[in-house]
Amino acid sequence: MELIELHILQSFPVSCLNRDDVGSPKTAVFGGVNRARLSSQSLKRAIREYAQQNLPDARFGGERTKLIVQPLASALRRHGIIDDKVAAEHAANIADKLAKLDAKPNGDGEARQVGTLTFLAPSEVDSIARQVAALLTENPKAKDYEKRLDKFCKEAGLLDGADIAVFGRMAASMPSLTLEGAAMFSHALSTHRSDNDLDFYSAVDDCKPKEADAGAGMIGTLEFSSAVYYRYAALNLDLLADKDHLAKLSSSERRKVVDAFIRATLQAVPGARRNSMNAHTLPGYVLGTFKAAGQPVQLINAFENPVQSKSGWLDASVEALRAHHARLKETWGIACTTEISIPDVNLNAFCEALTQHVH
């Protein structure tokens, strides 16, 4: 497969970027010691949001929600189904075909939910609604309507759903909509041993009379961590360009999608506790490679033996990563057509060097 790989080292100060069920920073044991961890799910959501908000050429227009009836009804009205009740009924029918409506409807037809989160692109919603609206003018028989609706749902295109092509989609109710994502992510791990710490905090009651008993209005504790993380992401360019993904886009349009993916992956940060522990940093080192053939290989084993340092973790982690990558290339004959790093070049040059291989 043709493959772009990103190996990212990033230092985060006091933070709780990704929490578990009790609000503690996530961790994992690797190399026999405790490490700070960021789940791949938290990273992917941050990347999707960053691309949607900051990169207009990204075509990351998808929304993952149970509330798909309302946008379907709105799209049907745009395409000529004027009666609100009729639009809501057909929107509910489409939603049930895509993801199965909840068994308990409420009073507002458009507010009904499907049973599972459903990842749809605006182009898919519009395509299905347009074709259904046109079909209804023919007064089709019920059997023909259901057959053609099934076809409309299966053939809706991902023209503005690059995020679905990149991250994939699971659709249990309509397996034909299930799509393997072209991107591969690992959980981010600290390159060194990392144990969570506790922050004791207190809040003062501003309106408490001065003569009242001294003391805080509220006290509590929060867990946090601080670490240098190794992050890995890869993008299968062959899969991205196939007929089920972004084959309908031109090479230049796909190149913009990949450029946006790289920029968002490098700059997006999970947003947990962003107001109280803002830890939005940028990577200290990024190694980007393009392979014309081969398989994805992450470099996490550079840190299986935790990094030891008396002068910060980042420089020592960069040194370990470079040495491990060199050993792997020599031992296994791994060939990289392009190999480039930040800060040796700036972000624009980095993206240009990798996206030139997108066809």
- Cβ within 8 Å of residue 95, ≥6 positions away: 68, 69, 72, 101, 112, 114
Is the bond preceding residue 140 a cis peptide, omega within 30 degrees?
A: no
Please give the model's pTM, rounded to 2 decimal places: 0.90
Element (H, E) at 49: helix 40-54
Residue of 293, 290, 295, 289 lying closest to 357 (CA atoms): 290
- Rounded distance, CA 121 to CA 92, Å? 17
Q: What is the DSSP string of 291-309?
A: ESS------GGGGSS----
Kindly give the confidence (pLDDT) of every residue in the chain, 359 residues in length, as a single tens digit, with 9 standing for 90 and above: 999 999 999 999 999 898 888 888 999 999 999 999 999 999 999 999 999 999 987 889 888 999 999 999 999 999 999 889 999 999 999 999 888 888 766 555 557 899 889 999 888 999 999 999 999 988 888 888 888 988 888 777 666 789 999 999 988 778 878 899 999 999 999 999 999 888 888 888 888 887 777 778 888 888 889 999 999 999 999 999 999 899 989 999 999 999 999 999 999 999 877 877 788 999 999 999 999 999 999 999 999 999 998 899 999 999 999 999 999 999 999 999 999 999 999 999 999 999 999 99
Element (H, E) at 320: helix 314-332
**Residue with structure tokens 């008396």?**
310
Provide the residue ranges of all domains of the chain, joining segments of one domain with +: 3-57+181-194+227-355, 64-159
**Sign of the four-CA dihedral 156, 161, 165, 169:** negative
- Rounded distance, CA 343 to CA 152, Å? 47
Is residue 231 exposed (0-12), middle (13-18) or buried (19+ Cβ within 10 Å)?
Answer: buried
8 Å CB contact between 189 and 231: no
Residue of 81, 31, 13, 9 lying closest to 227 (CA atoms): 13
Instruction: Give the SS3 label for residue 161.
Output: strand
- Rounded distance, CA 95 to CA 68, Å? 7
User: Length of the chain in residues, anyone?
Assistant: 359
> 316-353, pLDDT tens digit by residue?
999 999 999 999 999 999 999 999 999 999 999 999 99
The structure tokens listed for 264 are 């968002």
Is residue 83 exposed (0-12), middle (13-18) or buried (19+ Cβ within 10 Å)?
Answer: exposed
Residue 45 backbone phi and psi in degrees, to 5? -65, -40
Q: What angle do CA 238, 244, 249 make, to 5 degrees?
A: 75
